[in-house]
């Protein structure tokens, strides 16, 4: 199935000059959603993953579905001020600014084997911050998955030492 036909381009979002790849058009099509989920699941099954970490906010959707299919827990990484308990924070560079992400202090164990999922890989700032957060607990980042890789932004270069899967490349 050609998943690219389910991705909508939104010009000048979230700021002028950015061509945003919108996955919500993929999510509303059950066959495309299930195809994407199965592709990501097949990458992760039988790999002894203990938790799936989804990055806010679109990473929650397929990340949550993956955790259910894998029979493991789901952990959200969120923007500051969104998690109700004690958190760890990591600052990082976006392709259009600086941001921070947080995770609950009690969400990850040193023995965990983590699958990180996000909707899109651009410059690699967000995923590298997530990796640093998870590894700060002593846990292993076993796999990383995305729906989309924007290869022209070279984000993959910074995570080549990890087991990475993406479904669509631009």
d(CA 101, CA 169): 25
Sign of CA dihedral 44, 46, 48, 51: positive
Q: Could you list the beta-strand ranges (E) of 27-134.
A: 51-55, 73-77, 87-94, 97-104, 113-121
Q: Is pLDDT of 44 > 90?
A: yes
Q: Please tell me the predicted confidence (pLDDT) of residue 96.
A: 66
Give the mean model confidence (pLDDT) for residues 26-35.
98
Q: Is pLDDT of 13 > 80?
A: yes
Spot the catalytic one: 16, 58, 160, 169.
58
**How much is the pTM?**
0.95
pLDDT in tens, 92-136: 877 667 899 999 999 999 999 999 999 999 989 999 999 999 999
pLDDT band at 14 (very low <50, low <70, confident <90, very high): confident
d(CA 73, CA 114): 10
Spot the catalytic one: 48, 78, 91, 95.
95
The CATH number of the structural domain formed by 48-169 is 3.40.50.2020
Q: Please tell me the predicted confidence (pLDDT) of residue 27.
A: 97
78 catalytic? Reply is no
| Mean confidence (pLDDT) of the chain | 96
135 catalytic? Reply is no
């Amino acid at each position: 199935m050609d998943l690219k036909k389910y991705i909508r381009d939104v010009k000048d979002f979230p700021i002028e000059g950015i061509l945003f790849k919108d996955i919500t058009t993929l999510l509303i099509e059950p066959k495309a959603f299930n195809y994407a989920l199965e592709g990501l699941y097949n990458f992760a099954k039988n790999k002894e993953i203990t938790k799936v970490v989804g990055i806010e906010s679109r990473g929650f959707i397929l990340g949550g579905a993956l955790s259910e299919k894998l029979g493991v827990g789901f952990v959200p990484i969120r923007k500051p001020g969104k998690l109700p308990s004690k958190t760890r924070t990591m600052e990082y560079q976006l392709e259009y600014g600086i941001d921070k992400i947080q995770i609950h202090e009690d969400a990850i164990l040193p023995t965990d084997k983590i699958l990180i999922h996000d909707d899109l890989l651009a410059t690699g700032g967000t995923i590298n911050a997530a990796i640093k957060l998870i590894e700060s607990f002593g846990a292993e980042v076993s796999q990383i998955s995305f729906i989309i890789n924007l290869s022209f932004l070279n984000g993959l270069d910074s995570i080549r030492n990890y087991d990475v899967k993406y479904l669509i490349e631009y």
